Structure 1
Amino acid sequence: MVAAYQKLCPETLDGACRELADRDPALDRIYRERGCPPLWQRRPGFRTLVQIILEQQVSLASGRATMKRVENAIGRVTAQSLAGAGESGLRAAGVTRQKALYCTLLARAAMDGELNLGRIARVRDHEALDMLTAFKGVGRWTAEVYLLMALRRPDVWPAGDLALAKALQAVKKLPVKPGEDVMRTIARPWRPFRAVAARMLWQEYLCRNRAASAASG
């Protein structure tokens, strides 16, 4: 049994995968066919939170490309550099008007001490989510992905993630893509390792997409 409060690492990730495979036939098949998924961790901090905002409602590749343009324009992404660039500087780097506003507001909050990512890293999941989503532009998906990847929390479940919904529809053979409420209901038996189940399903989604691309190419 892997302790639920542990920060995920390669060893605890594999142990949790084995436990989930014992509980759920669909996850068991993924684990047997794909093995343990990547940890997909990100460095905790302001830059990562900004990058997740840039990835909202676009592909990961698009979000990364936007971040690269921002870094080319302003250098290292910090609260100070973003605040200095302002909305106009971010817009010139290709950031949408709405996301430019979100990022500059977040930068000012970090500089004023209102956004304290160090403190957020030390509180329980529900408290951390409440603290993050208090800031304009940080919705539940953004906050959950930050906890899952940057803080490596084991039981965060981003029910609003489109790739997860598509993977879940495929592996559970659902007639339609599940909504967030259905996603949360299906994931309930996977506590306290829902973030591990998410990684397993993301891995399945990517493998299926690669296979489909190879077949069509």
Structure 2
Amino acid sequence: MFRLQYLFDIHPNHNYVRELCNNDSLLNKLINRIGYIRIPVQQDGFQYLVRSLIGQQLSTKAAETIFLRLEQLCGKITPDVILATAEEDLRIVGLSKNKLGYIRNVAERAKEGALDFRKVGDMDDEEIVRLLTSIKGIGRWTAEMFLIFYLGRQDVVSFGDSGLNRAAEWLYASEGSGGQPQLHRKHVHWKPYSTIASLYLWEAINRSLVHDEPLNL
């Protein structure tokens, strides 16, 4: 059976990208500089949230090490396995007491059906944010990343993301802002493809394009 490989497979020549670029000349230059972006599909919603919770306030390398240890311990990371595994065994892989509690919170909500990963795709963005942030340990940023990187929602801007704000200030420095954060000022021009703009701004950081001085694109 064919499985979708990429959640986002974005090329500057795609019609929706051209529509986005027509509304924002500086973003157009950035998109053409970077080229295509591919974001792989995340197959399991529970594992995605577990990985996100582990990664809070940790380097990518440290978080990945803990996740792999957890995977080795559990076999497959599922709500049932997490709830059935002794706390001391879970702590050995490197989970703090707080993070373990947050992961168990998600597992409990998933097991009881309050968080049904088969149905979240039918909910609108704010419904999902409210559902996820009702679980202790999950804040709005984590919920917004779930919308983007698990569900592939195309019109999400995470206003609290420091990297996204930094990249927006860099890209639009020549325009001035009137005292308003550039991300707040510009996102209205990106609808209904705000996620695409966000992905290119993050990619600008990943490629070390974002510096203290605006780059001549």
Larger Rg: 2
Distance 1:173 1:69 in 2: 43
Normalised by the length of structure 1, the TM-score is 0.81
Question: For 1:1-217, what aligned pairs fall within 5 Å after superposition?
Answer: 9-10=8-9, 14-173=14-173, 183-208=183-208
- 7-16 or 144-153: which moved more? 7-16
SS at match of 2:26: helix
Aligned length: 200
Does structure 1 conserve the Cα–Cα contact (< 8 Å) formed by 2:7 and 2:149?
Answer: no
Instruction: Tell me if structure 1 keeps the 8 A contact 2:132–2:138.
Output: yes
Encode CA deviations 1:142-168: one digit per residue, 9 max, x unaligned: 111111011101011122223222222
Normalising by the residue count of structure 2, what TM-score does the alignment of the two structures yield? Answer: 0.81
- Partners of 2:55 and 2:187 in 1: how far apart? 24
Where does structure 1 lack aligned partners over 5 or more consecutive residues?
A: 1-6, 175-179, 212-217
SS at match of 1:131: helix
Give the structure 2 partner of residue 215 of structure 1.
none
SS of the aligned residue for 1:17 comes to helix
Mapped contact 2:167–2:210 kept (Cα < 8 A): no
Query: What is the SS of the residue equivalent to 1:38?
Result: strand
Q: Which amino acid aligns with 1:96?
A: S
Structure 1 residue 80 displacement after superposition: 1.0
Q: Which amino acid aligns with 2:101?
A: L
* Residues 169 and 183, structure 2, Cα contact 8 Å, conserved in 1: no
- TM superposition shift of 1:193: 0.9
Deviation at 1:182, TM superposition (A): 5.6
Separation of aligned partners in 2, 1:15 and 1:208: 27
Asked if the contact 2:10–2:36 (Cα under 8 Å) also holds between the matched residues in 1, the reply is no
Could you tell me whether the CA contact under 8 Å between 2:168 and 2:182 is conserved in 1? no
Letter in 1 for 2:64: R
Contact kept in structure 2, 1:53 and 1:138, CA below 8 Å: yes
Report the Cα offset of residue 8 of structure 1.
Answer: 6.1
Counterpart residue identity of residue 144, structure 2: E
Q: Report the alpha carbon displacement of residue 19 of structure 1 after superposing the two structures with TM.
A: 1.9
Shift of 1:185: 3.8
> Percent identity of the aligned residues?
27
1:152 match: secondary structure: coil
The CA RMSD measured in Å over matched residues stands at 2.7
